[in-house]
Amino acid sequence: MKLPKLKILDEKNKLLHKVSKDVTFPVSKEDRILALDTIKYLEMSQDESIAEKYNLRAGMGMAFVQLGHLKRIFVIASEREDGTFEEYVIINPKIISRSEELIYVGEGEGCLSVNRPVEGIVPRHARVTVEYYDYEGNKKTIRVREDLAVAFQHEIDHLDGILFVDKIDPKNPYKNKDKMREI
Ligand code: NI
Amino acid in the structure at residue 102: L
Cβ neighbours for 145, distance < 8 A, ≥ 6 positions apart: 126, 127
Number of H-type helices and E-type strands within the chain: 3, 8
- 158 Cα–ligand 1 center, Å: 7
- 10 Cα–ligand 1 center, Å: 10
What pLDDT score was predicted for residue 83? 92
Q: Does the active-site annotation cover 79?
A: no
> Strand 181-182 relative to strand 102-104: parallel, antiparallel, unpaired?
parallel
- 153 Cα–ligand 1 center, Å: 10
Q: What domains sit in the chain, N to C, each tagged with a CATH number? A: 19-182 (3.90.45.10)
User: What distance in Å separates the CA atoms of residue 23 and residue 6, rounded to the nearest whole number?
Assistant: 21
Given 11, 86, 119, 155, the catalytic residue: 155
What pLDDT score was predicted for residue 1? 80
- Note down pLDDT in tens along the chain; length 183 residues: 899 999 999 999 999 999 999 999 999 999 999 999 999 999 999 999 999 999 999 999 999 999 999 999 999 999 999 999 999 999 999 999 999 999 999 999 999 999 999 999 999 999 999 999 999 999 999 999 999 999 999 999 999 999 999 999 999 999 999 999 999
Exposed / middle / buried, residue 117 (Cβ in 10 Å: 0-12, 13-18, 19+): exposed
- 9 Cα–ligand 1 center, Å: 10
Nearest to 149 by CA among 164, 172, 130, 175: 130
For residues 60 and 47, the answer to whether their CB atoms sit within 8 Å is no
